[in-house]
Chains A and B, each alone.
Chain A
Amino acid sequence: MGDKEQNRKKNHAASRREVFQAVAVLGAGAFAAPYFIRRSGAQAADLGPYQSAKLNWRQAEGEKITVAVIPASYFENLITITPEFQALTGVEVRYEKVPPGQIRQKAMLDLTSKTATYATSATDPMYYPLYVSNKWVEPLDKYLNDPALTDTSWFKYEDILKAWRDADSVEGKPYAIPYDGEVTVQVYRRDLYETKNLTSADTFEDFVRNAAAVHDPNNRVWGAALRAFAGAGQNMYIYPSIFRSFGGQWIVNGKIKVNSAEAEQALTWYVDTLTKYAPPAVRNWNWPDIADAFAQGTLGAYIDAHSSAAVLNNPEKSKVVGQIGFARWPKGPGNKRVTSIWNWGFPINASLSEKAKRATWLFIIWAASQETQARTSWKFSGPTKRSGVNRLSTWHSPEFTNAMKSSGENFVEAALQSLEQDTDVDWRPRVPQWPAIGDTMATAIQSALVGQKKPKGALDEAQARLDQIMRG
């Protein structure tokens, strides 16, 4: 309500300003002409990289769209440069910031009731199968293949990281375009490791051995930590990587299977590692807590999103700046490294009008384009340069590497190798029932982590429950 009010006021102010501008232009007349010509030239250069696309950017002029995002620096950067999009297309964009814990529910409320409040919203890739089976979002192949809507040689869809494109597709069809994403990598304290003559872990055994070597709780240093708080996006974000690294399969003979021998080994490894080498409070920790603990110098290593590096390198909060090393996930007994394929993508709400859909599509390709990715990363004028850029060419560019070099040793290399080699589209079970599966598994994993149940018992119970859920 307050938001709307403010917006309306802003709009009034804007239109008043426009009137003044128009009057000023008329009044100034010929005297100011050279200035205006120069100015419009500068603006054209600014939008040049977009206008080089063979595409009518102004085809949805006058449309207003609302975009739901989470309050995070990678979206803040996008919001900051959105006036450029409005100048380019004449489409007005309003952002609504929704906390990450609520954005799925809010988006789903909008989608089920078909109110078309959000033209698009930053979406969890695990939800596309659900959205698609309810026909809540548009298939995007027709937008990508329509020359009136996409200049393929300019947009270069194939340049977007394959793992993220796959994560945002269902049965080969794209339903969202990734904007920002992350890989999970190993983060370790170089100074601690050097004094003990350790190198980053190559296997799960190494990881445990390293943790044991630096583990010294009496001096407030714990060996390692992993996200352990209950939740589909918390413990069920780390466990799938472990499970897949142990060779586990989510779907066996068309049925979900969570209590296989590999699952039991994986969960046992997770529970044992945390019980022996993590701070006791880790069971309530999500990634910010882990990054904070690491920044305070109380952790030897952790495995989490590469974007958590931003916290570690903030000199005001971190005591370990300059001591941070990065490496890929260790290899599991199944001889695999499995990183997260998490990304925030933008789908198109299927209940929009045709014109609003076009406006939304223009917004999406603008946000996901090479130029905007650069302008929100190394070209961004603010202090935080995005590290979750969506394109292979961007990851390979020297400008990006240069902007990221203060993050720590091996940062870009470890992340890029993970993106190219360690991604796995079946990281988590990609089915419409994911919300129930994620919730059930999170509950089961937590009961094992807090010692309420043995791993086998917890998984058997989850299996029984999932059998019941999948039966419908």
Chain B
Amino acid sequence: MANRTAAIAAGERAFALSLFLPAFLVLVLITTFPLVYLVWTSLNRIDLAMPWNSGFAGAENYARMFDDPRFWHALELTLIYTSVTVILQVLIGLGLALLVSRIPVGQGLLRVAVIVPIVLAPVVVGLFWRTLVLAPDFGIVDFVTRALGFGSHNWLGDPQLALISVIAIHTWQWTPFVFLVLLASLAALPIEIFEAARLDRASAWQRFWHITLPLIRPAIVIVIIMRMMIALSAFAAIFAATGGGPGTATEILNLYVYRTSFDALNFGYGAALGVVLLVITLGVSFILFRLRRSR
């Protein structure tokens, strides 16, 4: 009897395995293999400009980052870019969601309207901002600042303004995402608690701080995690708008990886930088997930 159950179980396991295997193999082929290959590349000296140096390098590419000021600069920019864009997105998105959740009619229309930036390809967004919004003399922003008497500025050509501009571009594109998620979770809140609070004469601020915020906290944390992962790996919009310039003013880590690998042709070092970016992204996500679970 026991033998038969075991045999059936084994048969089922084999069947389950045969169902699971194709998907698993495809996954290994398209995600695990490139990842392992990336790590392997990062442990080698592969510089097309100096092919005579090629060979196994161990941790050399990683050690090199410590005295590479451009790496530290890129890392700093990545952290600024990520934290500022995520904070702005959550603040603006939450504000808009709170405002709109009070609107009784026409919410559907608004929801459709805000989807537009999200569905645009980031590279299109970058080009669109560069040529139509931020171009000196012709751009919309420049037109507004001149009309208000702030004068014309080279929005993507000046180092400080360029960083602000790429942050604005990313915030513009992705705030609607935060807005939509938070709007949905606001709509799902139980109305009874708010009624009870109102009966207890809680002020609007108290209701927001003690009821709304704790209730939508899980949604906010998930949104922050998702936005951080995307911001850390941002590439196309910046690449199209500034190419990392002027100089290295908007060269976040991802762009530095690209420039090292495909402009300077140092694939080994570029791969090592890519691995570091991956580890940072995984680390940040891991910490945030832990924070989410801990309460």
A residues lining the B interface (CB < 8 Å): 105, 108, 112, 130, 133-134, 230, 280-281, 283-284, 432-436, 439-440, 443-444, 446-447, 450, 452-453, 461, 464-465, 468-469, 472
From residue B272, how far is it (CB to closest CB) to chain A in Å?
Answer: 14
Q: B68 in the interface, Cβ–Cβ < 8 Å? A: yes
A436: chain B residues within 8 A (beta carbon)? 49, 263-266
From residue B206, how far is it (CB to closest CB) to chain A in Å?
Answer: 48
- A450, B158: Cβ atoms closer than 8 Å: yes
B263: chain A residues within 8 A (beta carbon)? 435-436, 439
Q: B51 in the interface, Cβ–Cβ < 8 Å? A: yes
115-166 of chain B: CB within 8 A of chain A: 136-137, 154, 157-159
- A447, B51: Cβ atoms closer than 8 Å: no
- B247, A446: Cβ atoms closer than 8 Å: yes
From residue A124, how far is it (CB to closest CB) to chain B in Å?
Answer: 13
B69: chain A residues within 8 A (beta carbon)? 461, 464-465
- B157, A133: Cβ atoms closer than 8 Å: no
Decide if the interface of chain A is mainly helix, strand, loop or mixed.
Answer: helix
Contact status of A439 and B259, CB under 8 A, knowing A130-B49, A433-B50, A469-B264: yes
What are some 21 contacts across the A-B interface (CB < 8 A)?
A112-B48, A133-B49, A133-B51, A133-B52, A134-B48, A230-B243, A230-B245, A280-B136, A283-B246, A432-B51, A435-B49, A436-B263, A443-B248, A447-B248, A450-B159, A450-B247, A452-B246, A453-B247, A465-B69, A465-B70, A469-B49
Contact status of A450 and B157, CB under 8 A, knowing A436-B264, A439-B259: yes
From residue B256, how far is it (CB to closest CB) to chain A in Å?
Answer: 11
- A281, B154: Cβ atoms closer than 8 Å: yes
Decide if the interface of chain B is mainly helix, strand, loop or mixed.
Answer: loop
- A452, B259: Cβ atoms closer than 8 Å: no
> Nearest 8 A-B pairs (CB), nearest first?
A447-B247, A436-B264, A433-B49, A472-B53, A452-B159, A439-B263, A432-B49, A450-B246
A434, A439, A450, A472 interface centre (most CB from chain B within 10 Å):
A472
- A281, B246: Cβ atoms closer than 8 Å: no
B137: chain A residues within 8 A (beta carbon)? 281
For the complex, count residues of B whose C-beta is within 8 A of A: 31
- A446, B49: Cβ atoms closer than 8 Å: no
CA distance A108 to B48 in the complex (A): 10
Among residues of B, the one whose C-beta sits closest to the C-beta of A461 is B69
Q: B170 in the interface, Cβ–Cβ < 8 Å? A: no
Would you give the 0/1 interface string for B44-62, flagging 1 where the beta carbon is closer than 8 Å to chain A?
0101111111000000000
CA distance A378 to B70 in the complex (A): 50
From residue A159, how far is it (CB to closest CB) to chain B in Å?
Answer: 33
Contact status of A439 and B264, CB under 8 A, knowing A133-B52, A446-B247, A472-B50: yes
B residues lining the A interface (CB < 8 Å): 45, 47-53, 64, 67-70, 136-137, 154, 157-159, 243, 245-249, 259, 262-266
Among residues of A, the one whose C-beta sits closest to the C-beta of B54 is A472
Among residues of B, the one whose C-beta sits closest to the C-beta of A283 is B157
B248: chain A residues within 8 A (beta carbon)? 443, 447
Contact status of A452 and B247, CB under 8 A, knowing A284-B154, A435-B264: yes
- B64, A447: Cβ atoms closer than 8 Å: no
- B154, A472: Cβ atoms closer than 8 Å: no
**A-B contacts besides A281-B137, A433-B49, 16 pairs, CB < 8 Å:** A108-B265, A133-B51, A230-B247, A280-B136, A281-B154, A284-B154, A284-B157, A432-B50, A434-B49, A435-B263, A435-B265, A443-B245, A446-B245, A450-B159, A452-B249, A469-B264
A281: chain B residues within 8 A (beta carbon)? 136-137, 154, 157
CA distance A112 to B159 in the complex (A): 35
B262: chain A residues within 8 A (beta carbon)? 105
CA distance A138 to B69 in the complex (A): 39
B247: chain A residues within 8 A (beta carbon)? 230, 443-444, 446-447, 450, 452-453
A452: chain B residues within 8 A (beta carbon)? 159, 246-247, 249
- B45, A447: Cβ atoms closer than 8 Å: no
B53: chain A residues within 8 A (beta carbon)? 472
CA distance A105 to B265 in the complex (A): 10
- B157, A469: Cβ atoms closer than 8 Å: no
Among residues of B, the one whose C-beta sits closest to the C-beta of A436 is B264
CA distance A444 to B158 in the complex (A): 14
B64: chain A residues within 8 A (beta carbon)? 468
CA distance A453 to B73 in the complex (A): 15
